[in-house]
């Protein structure tokens, strides 16, 4: 399955959905209501937390991991467009032999030997131990922030990249060697794969940030998290 998630209202560009569906007939746009049902089924103790998340990007972070844990396949952000279909199928074929495929955007490395994992595209086998571990990590982080905010009416600082974002992938999958190089944890070889993109030899399975017409000034999560609480009041 290939899918994306859209939190509120209609998906902003039907042409994007049509382009994905033309290559992959099972492409699905999951809504907040869809995932709310899944939360009720799989993690009912976190339903109130889910409903009170104030920043849609945070709910999307959790939704994609929960959907991957339940259904497996490939998640892509709403701003991604179809790249080379053969490369995309090549990516999916990797998933036949590992539990999880994470994207390392090498053009965003800060130094030699670095990794820059993203959660804007992520592939996993349904019910695999690694995706379940990632889900548990995100839920733990969210409950900790929820508890901190429940003790005060004041703003409680947080960083979504750390709470529910790609930093959790790095913690789950990577280790730092004696040479200071960040690499896949040796214990995870055969279970996870870090796909380094862009890579001319592999091709371009999708295009990041190609469909950003829906973005509005001041509404990105990186801006909102500086002043807004993560959870709505009870």
> What is the per-residue pLDDT for 215?
62
Strand pairing of 81-82 and 206-207?
A: antiparallel
pLDDT in tens, 169-197: 999 999 998 899 999 999 999 999 999 99
> What is the per-residue pLDDT for 221?
77
Q: Please check whether residue 19 is in contact with residue 45, taking contact to mean a CB–CB distance below 8 angstroms.
A: no
- What b/e sequence results for 165-183 when a residue is b if at least 16 CB atoms lie within 10 Å of its CB, and e otherwise? bbbbbbebbbeeeeeeebe
Q: Please check whether residue 2 is in contact with residue 27, taking contact to mean a CB–CB distance below 8 angstroms.
A: yes
Hey, where are the domains in the chain?
2-224
pLDDT in tens, 11-31: 877 788 999 999 999 999 999
Correct CATH for 2-224 of 3.90.550, 1.10.1660, 2.40.128, 3.30.70: 3.90.550
Taking the model in full, what pTM does it have? 0.95
pLDDT in tens, 46-96: 999 999 999 999 999 999 999 999 999 999 999 999 999 999 999 999 999
pLDDT grade for 111, boundaries at 50, 70 and 90: very high
């Amino acid at each position: 399955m290939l899918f994306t998630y859209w939190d509120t209202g209609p998906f902003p560009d039907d042409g994007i959905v049509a382009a994905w569906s033309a290559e992959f007939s099972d492409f699905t746009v999951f809504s907040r209501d869809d995932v709310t049902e899944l939360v009720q089924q799989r993690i009912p103790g976190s339903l109130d937390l889910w409903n009170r998340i104030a920043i849609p990007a945070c709910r999307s972070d959790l939704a994609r991991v929960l959907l991957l844990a339940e259904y497996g396949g490939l998640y892509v952000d709403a701003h991604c467009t179809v790249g080379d279909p053969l490369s995309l199928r090549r990516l999916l074929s990797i998933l036949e032999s590992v539990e999880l495929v994470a994207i390392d955007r090498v053009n965003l490395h800060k130094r030699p030997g670095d990794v820059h994992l993203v959660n804007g595209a992520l592939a996993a086998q349904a019910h695999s131990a690694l995706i379940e571990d990632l889900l548990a990590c995100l839920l733990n982080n969210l409950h900790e922030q929820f508890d901190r905010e429940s003790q005060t009416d004041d703003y409680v600082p947080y960083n979504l990249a750390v709470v529910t974002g790609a930093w959790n992938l790095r913690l789950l999958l990577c280790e730092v060697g004696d040479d200071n190089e960040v690499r896949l944890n040796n214990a995870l070889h055969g279970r996870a794969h870090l796909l380094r993109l862009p890579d001319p030899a592999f091709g371009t399975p999708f295009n990041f940030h190609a469909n950003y017409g829906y973005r509005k000034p001041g509404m990105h999560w990186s801006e909102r998290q500086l002043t807004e609480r993560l959870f709505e009041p009870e």
